[in-house]
Every structure is written in C-alpha cells, then in structure tokens.
Structure 1
C-alpha cells in the first residue's frame, strides 16, 4: 500500500509539516521559556543569528551522536511566532479546509496482507483523486523486505464514549495556520523528565509544525486537550466552543523536531524523513497562571524510548480523523495487536505499522502500549495508505529521546 504522509486531509483534518526546534518570540502569550534564544531574526530557521551561516544538516550517523551542545546549537536557529490568544473560534475550526497537495508517487515494492514477507508484491491501486490527500511514498524501496512486513489486518476506528473518562483527557486536537488556511492535527500530553508532575509538553508529528525542506513554520499552533469530551459538537450538535474545550486552548510557545525533517522533508510525499516524524511542543496556560497542563488535565503519558519491539505486543492509536467517514469531532482509537515494520531507509529507525482506517486530522495522535502495568507512548501517527487501511508512526529511539531530554532540561 502506498504510505501517504498525513499532511493533507479533510476539513478539520489536514495536517502538514514539521520543524526542528520552534521557539516563541513575539506577540501572543508571554514567553518566559529559557529555550527561547535571541533568534527573532532567524524567521526561516536557517541561522542562529543575523548574518550567520546556516548550520550543516547532520547525516543520520552524526545525528545519532548529537549531544546537548549540538541540540542547543540547532535549537538557536529556529523560531516560531507564539499563537495569538483568542485566534481560534468555533467558526474557524468548523471551516478548516484540507490541504491541497501536489502530485505524489506510488511505491513499487510494498508487501500486502495476502503475501508473505519477501513475496513478489502487487501494485497498489492509484490514489483516489477525490479523497483527502496525504503525501505518497517515494517510488523506490530498499532491497528485500527492507524492514517491511506485510500489511496488518485492518482495524476499524471506534469513538471514545462521551463524556471522556479521565485517562483520555491527555489526548487533544492541535490547530495551526498555514498561510491563510487553517488545519488540524492531534497530540498527547506527555511527561516532562525535568519537571515531574508539571508538564507543559505535547507530543505530535513534525509535519504538524513545519512545512519541511524550504518550508515555513506554521502559525497559531494551539492545543485543545480533551476536545469535545462532552459530545457538545457530536452528531451535528450546535454546541459552543467553551463546551467543546473543557480546558481551553493552550498556545505553543516553543517546540522541537529532528533536523532531518526540516532539512529533507517533502510533506506531500512520504519518505525516509517520515522515520523521524515526531514533534514536541511547549504550551502556555491560557489563564496566565502557573498551573501546568499536566496538573490541569490530571495526568501525562511517559514515553518509552527504544522499546524492545518484541515487548510492544499491542498498541492503541488515538486521534481526531476528519476525512470521510469521520467528521473531526470525535476522539477515535484503533486497538491493534503487535505492530508490523515499515521502512524507507534501513539506516533510520524502522517505523511501527498497524492496520487502521484513520484519515486526515489524526496525524500526531499518540500510540499507546503498556509497560509494567502503566500506559506509555511509543509513537505518533505519521503516514498512511491511500485507501486508509493502515497507518505508520516513527520508532522513538535515541534521537527522539535526546531531543526531549534537551528540550526538557533547557526549559527547566
């Protein structure tokens, strides 16, 4: 099947891009985050100070060896504009449009569910032109199975019942503006290693933050935890924004992703950069108080980095899909078994893949499993099939862990 990056999907469900380190500067919520370096002039994220040469994009091997100072240097050359408080209203959310992608290629060697790994693959159907589009995979594949398993059995998404039980309040909807258009993704409140019990961190996909190689950062990036928990907007109901957002809108003030995304990614087409398609956001309390996001929603999810694949025996993915047959108002989940493997570059961490019919808008949503009897996050929704029968997310290895560790310690 053709992996198509969940960059553009249906109204309320398009998501594009990602970035490397986003640091707030100007208007919007007051920024007291120590991560924010004096880099306002570096609006394109290419230099760490006016007139400075851009940092060289590290190779995959170099990236794996980055230390705190390397991440710090990378962080200082990337900035975002903080979300404008009150920018998002219900009308904007309901009128969000799908992103219109350019042409995408089709894979030539992807195993299917009916084939054993290594069998001669069949060509997947062409992408429907009327479907909310997502980036397609490149036209080349590594030799052999290249770290690719047959497509897993399809699992139908199911909505979380209203009102959400407390453990689901860590899931939320992520809004952002790309140019003059509005789009959405999904995200998860994750634990902050340097600030236990007081996390303001949201995990999502990198393509939900930035336009990739040559692109610009999205603006007005905002997180709404437990969106529509009460069901006020379900089934065509005309509820209010206050009813749909029990914890309000938490605007982004800083963030980070792997440099491979910002330096390589074509968000219209899945590729090896998708294997690093993760993003981290720091958000601000909309009431201006010092209460953290974790304290307000009642919890956060630890991240299990370098999880032994044989110990990930089952995953559940969560998000707000908006492409048909979904409308973006429900928190949906796919409860899958052991994830399969998905890879475009064997030198990079092989992605996790599940059978799931999610559509646009679920990008960045958390993938959960159980460790020592507790819920932990092991991935986020990144790419998926053109026929919406499977999804894949990045395997979170040392690179993802070092990014979070830097971001957490720098902002303590």
Structure 2
C-alpha cells in the first residue's frame, strides 16, 4: 500500500511544469499573428463601400489640458470640400476599407514614395488604428486602398447609381503587407488617445486585376515623407486631407483643413502630437497631413489620429525615428520585387 504522503520531488516537478506552461502561454499571447489579407474578388462592391462606417471613437474635449506641454485649443477650421475630379487635384489621397469584428469600416490614406523603388512605389501611409486594433487586438481583414475614391464627388442618387469605374477610378488595391509601430500594438486603444503618438502605419498594396503597374505609376504621383519635421511651433501651416464619414459627413467626398499647428500632449512621457483646428470627423483618420518641405514640395509629416467629441480639432503624430523604421521595413521587404 502506497503512502498518502507525496514526494517533494513530485511537487517540484509539477511546479516547474506549470511554470513552463504559463511561460509558454504568455509568450504565445505576446506573439503578434502574421498579417494576412488574401484577396477576395468582388468583395468591395460600390454598395458595400457605401455601407462601411467609421469605427473612430472621439476623445474627451479637454484632452491634454493637464498632460505635459499642450498649446491652447485651436479655433475650429471648417472642412473644405476638395475640387473634383480628385485624380487631378489630390491623386495621392484615397480611402481605406477594411473589415472589423463589428463590420466593414473606413479610414483614409495617402500614396507615398518608396525609397527602394523611385517612381514605382506601391506604399500607402495611414493610421495604425486603421489596420490593427491595438492592445489586446489584432490585424483587421480585407484591407484595401481606393485612390481618388468617388472621383467626381457624386452624392445622393448619383452616388448610389455610380459604377465601379466612378467609385474606384484607379481600381481597388489590396494590401499584401502592413506594419505599424510596436507602441501602437502594445498601448493603442479605441478611445482616450492611448498610443496616439505612435498611431501610424505603412501598407504595401498590389495592383488590381493582376496588373503590373505600381500604385505610383497608376495614379501618376506619390508623396514624399518628411521625417523629423520641425516641431509644431516652427511649421507655419499644415494641411490635412481625408474622407470624413461620421455626421454631418457621409464618407463619400474628400475634404481638407489648413491651419497653423500647435502641440498636444496626451501623455507627459511621450512625444507631443501636432494639432490643428478642423471639423472633419471619424473616417478622416489616417489621412495625410502635409507641409512645405525645405525643397519647396509638399511632404507628408503626419496623419490624422484623434479628434474630440465636438469635432473642432484633429491631432496626429510627429513622425520620428520610429515611424521611419516602420517605413523602411516595409520598403526593404519589397525592395527586390517589381510590384
């Protein structure tokens, strides 16, 4: 008959086993699933695009008043409708569509240059929260970029009757890779501004319909990215573009705001954001912010990340070394391919 007393070696072995299992589970939880975005032909029809809604959540109106260095809240700048056709006036700006657990959603994005492929870039700049849910989340699915979406700015019945060529004049470009900042993945949240200082992402997109032209070759342009641009106090003006989709907008037309930027500090221990007065709403997230660079060209310096409940301003991250690392990583990944 065996004794009811258990060997201390048995307990030690079980303890080690449990610790290993816990460590393995913890390690597995921290591993970010690989980005996967297989093409589903015919998924993003004009009707499904029109039904997609913004998932953006506003931040408190008084965000940043007591955190670090924030300049006074700017006066609201009414969003101005972009001239049509968009392909002639703002060809690098487009609309992002993607699926979330809550359904189809929208953001904005910008075609940007690829240092590894001059003149033939297929890179798109947007916000991190437009491709990944942030802390405790994962990648969104079925992400596509539509440059010059709704090119003629059609509204109402005219938009409802528009064909694929009017809604997506350059086609629908599926993302085959995406990368965002590790800080967004670790800290990003749906509200409150968590992770906003690192809320940026870069996509690589593939030509529609088995084409061979790059995004830049197709639309004729790609914007340069200006990393480590001057602080808000040293930039005279920034202009932001996007497709605002929350009321009073419907996401069908492109708008912009131009203002002298100020600083917004969401967390005293993190970099300040650029902030401008603007009445654009959810859906404009990810849209490019542009300033005149030293060579006289407009260059992307930020993207829309957050805005308040009363829709009077927008804020976006200042693009430093971390943003450049993400950008270079995506560029390097496709540097040996033609598209």
Q: Structure 2 length as normaliser, TM-score?
A: 0.84
Q: Within 5 Å, which residues of 2 pair with 1:13-32? A: none
Q: Distance in 1 between matches of 2:49 and 2:63?
A: 39
Aligned residue in 2 for 1:364 = 286
Aligned residue in 2 for 1:21 = none
Q: Distance in 1 between matches of 2:107 and 2:63?
A: 29
Q: Distance in 2 between matches of 1:161 and 1:100?
A: 26
Match of 1:373 among 296, 310, 323: 296
Match of 1:81 among 32, 37, 40: 37
CA-to-aligned-CA distance 1:289-325 (integer Å, 9 cap, x gap): 2210000000100110001125421111000001222
Secondary structure of 1:322's aligned partner: coil
Q: Distance in 2 between matches of 1:245 and 1:109?
A: 37
Between 1:388-397 and 1:310-319, the stretch displaced more is 310-319
8 Å Cα contact 1:255/1:280 also seen in 2: yes
1:196 correspondence with 2:170: no
> What stretches of structure 1 of length at least 5 have no aligned partner?
1-49, 57-73, 112-140
Q: Distance in 2 between matches of 1:376 and 1:97?
A: 29
8 Å Cα contact 2:93/2:108 also seen in 1: yes
Aligned residue in 2 for 1:250 = 173
Aligned residue in 2 for 1:228 = 150
Between 1:191-200 and 1:157-166, the stretch displaced more is 157-166
Q: What is the aligned length?
A: 308
Q: Distance in 2 between matches of 1:147 and 1:254?
A: 36
- For residue 215 of structure 1, report the CA deviation from its aligned partner: 1.1
What is the alpha-carbon root mean square deviation over aligned residues?
A: 2.3
Q: Structure 1 length as normaliser, TM-score?
A: 0.70
Secondary structure of 1:169's aligned partner: coil
CA-to-aligned-CA distance 1:11-65 (integer Å, 9 cap, x gap): xxxxxxxxxxxxxxxxxxxxxxxxxxxxxxxxxxxxxxx9993597xxxxxxxxx
8 Å Cα contact 1:349/1:397 also seen in 2: no
Aligned residue in 1 for 2:211 = 289
Higher helix fraction (1 or 2)? 2
Between 1:391-400 and 1:305-314, the stretch displaced more is 305-314
Secondary structure of 2:91's aligned partner: helix
Q: Which stretches of structure 1, 4 residues or longer, exceed 3 Å deviation after superposition?
A: 50-56, 97-101, 104-111
CA-to-aligned-CA distance 1:308-360 (integer Å, 9 cap, x gap): 125421111000001222111111000212x1001122332210000000111
- For residue 399 of structure 1, report the CA deviation from its aligned partner: 0.6
Between 1:219-228 and 1:344-353, the stretch displaced more is 344-353
Q: Distance in 1 between matches of 2:305 and 2:184?
A: 12
1:308 correspondence with 2:230: yes
CA-to-aligned-CA distance 1:55-86 (integer Å, 9 cap, x gap): 97xxxxxxxxxxxxxxxxx9x86322334232
Residues 411, 52 of structure 1: alpha-carbon distance in 2 compared, 3 angstrom cutoff: farther
Secondary structure of 1:383's aligned partner: coil
> What stretches of structure 2 of length at least 5 have no aligned partner?
1-23
